[in-house]
């Protein structure tokens, strides 16, 4: 009887331990779901700083068809640009949350997002996502977010032999991250692959008041101003008295390895085309 009593006590203790673990995990799951809801409310309120605060400082976004987005500045710039889209909305629903340890959890589910394109039509997307959460100082924060679209690619590039038609409303903008350049510039690839040999076309969007430092490119650069007020000057030192202003329709040719610097008076979009690989090198020309 004593042995049986002792055995029952051990079993009850084990069950109590398992039960406490399950309760803790359930509390963590509830906390993560609450953080999800807080994240979505912040986006609906266009509260960018609140959105950023729900991420770790080195958080990573892995978006479909886009370069990696890493760090608070890039995430802030990306959401700022997304929330500028007319009638932009996004919603996601967790399917499952697995708390792997007291500090790491994995969530997956489905998402939908939409906005009104420049043609007045609604652009919609949807798919699945995986989010990795880290518990930092007692609070669950987003460490990695990886949405994966299941929506077929829109007719943004209608292929007719070697021809390509690309409506501007379907371009995908991502933050440009270059050491030595302040954050805030957005990039969209229109045609080709700038990182490889061959022709490419891309667009850059500069916020008002932006300045970029002296730099050069290994290949020639052809620039057309699409909107705004683009500032540019050639030279190995940033002498701003040499700056000239270029408006919509103006064209600039920068020879290979010729250093230049500039910025944007107002929000400005320029289109670049040339032969890759495209690269940005800080400092005087070679």
Secondary structure string (H, E, C) spanning 226-264? EECCEEEEECCCCCHHHCEEECCCCEEEECCCCCEEEEE
CA neighbours closer than 13 Å in the CB half-sphere of residue 215: 17
- How confident is the prediction for the chain on average, in pLDDT? 86
Are both 25-149 and 176-282 of the same fold?
no
The helix or strand, by DSSP H or E, that contains position 157, with its residue range, turns out to be none
Distance in angstroms (rounded) separating the CA atoms of residues 108 and 274:
41
Sign, CA dihedral 241-242-243-249, equals positive
Sign, CA dihedral 254-258-262-263, equals positive
Which whole number is the average pLDDT over 164-181? 86
Flag whether pLDDT at 10 surpasses 50: no
| Tally of helices (H runs) and strands (E runs) in the chain | 3, 19
- Sorted by where each begins, the domain ranges of the chain are 25-149, 176-282
Residue 222's pLDDT band (cuts 50, 70, 90):
very high
Residue in the structure block whose two tokens are 């290979």: 256
CATH class of the 176-282 domain in this structure: mainly beta
pTM given for the model: 0.51
Residue 25's pLDDT band (cuts 50, 70, 90):
low
Longest dimension (CA), the chain: 97
Flag whether pLDDT at 183 surpasses 90: yes
> In this structure, which topology does domain 25-149 adopt according to CATH?
Nuclear Transport Factor 2; Chain: A, (3.10.450)
The helix or strand, by DSSP H or E, that contains position 198, with its residue range, turns out to be strand 198-206
Q: Of 115, 102, 100, 129, nearest to 36 (Cα)?
A: 129
pLDDT in tens, 225-273: 999 999 999 999 999 999 999 999 999 999 999 999 999 999 999 999 9
Neighbours of 12 (CB within 10 A): 10
Q: What is the DSSP letter of 133?
A: E
Residue 13's pLDDT band (cuts 50, 70, 90):
very low
Flag whether pLDDT at 2 surpasses 90: no
For residues 59 and 142, the answer to whether their CB atoms sit within 8 Å is yes
**Long-range contacts, 176-179 (Cβ 8 Å, 24+):** 176/204, 177/70, 177/74, 178/280, 179/282
Provide the 3-class DSSP secondary structure of residue 170: helix
- pLDDT above 90: percentage of residues in the chain: 68
pLDDT in tens, 60-118: 998 877 778 899 999 999 899 889 989 999 999 999 999 999 999 999 999 999 998 87
């Amino acid at each position: 009887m004593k042995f049986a009593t002792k055995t029952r006590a051990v079993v009850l203790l084990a069950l109590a331990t398992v039960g406490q673990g399950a309760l803790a995990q359930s509390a963590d799951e509830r906390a993560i779901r609450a953080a999800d809801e807080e994240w979505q409310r912040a986006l609906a309120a266009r509260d960018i700083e609140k959105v950023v605060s729900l991420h770790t400082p080195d958080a990573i976004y892995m978006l479909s068809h886009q370069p990696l987005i890493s760090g608070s500045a890039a995430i802030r710039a990306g959401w700022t640009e997304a929330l500028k889209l007319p009638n932009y909305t996004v919603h996601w629903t967790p399917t499952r949350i697995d708390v792997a340890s007291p500090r790491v959890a994995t969530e997956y589910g489905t998402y939908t997002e939409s906005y009104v394109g420049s043609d007045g039509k609604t652009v919609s997307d949807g798919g699945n996502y995986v989010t990795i959460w880290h518990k930092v100082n007692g609070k669950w924060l987003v460490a990695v977010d990886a949405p994966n679209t299941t929506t077929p690619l829109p007719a943004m590039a209608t292929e007719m032999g070697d021809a390509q038609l690309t409506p501007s409303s379907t371009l995908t903008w991502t933050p440009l991250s270059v050491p030595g350049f302040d954050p805030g510039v957005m990039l969209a690839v229109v045609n080709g692959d700038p990182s490889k040999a061959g022709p490419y076309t891309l667009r850059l969007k500069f916020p008002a008041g932006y300045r970029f430092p002296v730099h050069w490119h290994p290949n020639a650069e052809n620039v057309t101003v699409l909107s705004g007020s683009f500032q540019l000057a050639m030279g190995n030192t940033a002498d701003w008295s040499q700056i000239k202003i270029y408006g919509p329709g103006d064209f600039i040719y920068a020879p290979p390895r010729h250093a230049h610097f500039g910025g944007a008076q107002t929000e400005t979009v320029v289109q670049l085309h040339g032969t890759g690989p495209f690269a940005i090198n800080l400092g005087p020309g070679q």
